[in-house]
Amino acid sequence: MQDEWIFYRETGQLWQVGNFKDSIKHGHFIRYDRNDNVEYDENFENGKKVKTK
């Protein structure tokens, strides 16, 4: 996995958007609940969480 990935629920609804570098979370990740509200807003560096909003 590399670059930005977008994940959807089986219903087609947006679930999360995030970046990977060498198959490891790296950069900004946002996860949405079923009502399209932000559930998680996190930043990663080489797979380690460095910041959560």
Average pLDDT, the chain: 94
- Give CA–CA dist 7/48, Å, rounded: 20
- Identify whether the C-beta of residue 32 lies closer than 8 Å to the C-beta of residue 38: yes
Say if pTM beats, i.e. exceeds, 0.85. no
Instruction: Give tens-digit pLDDT for 14-34.
Output: 999 999 999 999 999 999 999
Q: In this predicted structure, what is the pLDDT of residue 23?
A: 92
Q: Is the pLDDT of residue 1 over 80?
A: no
Q: Domain spans of the chain? A: 3-52
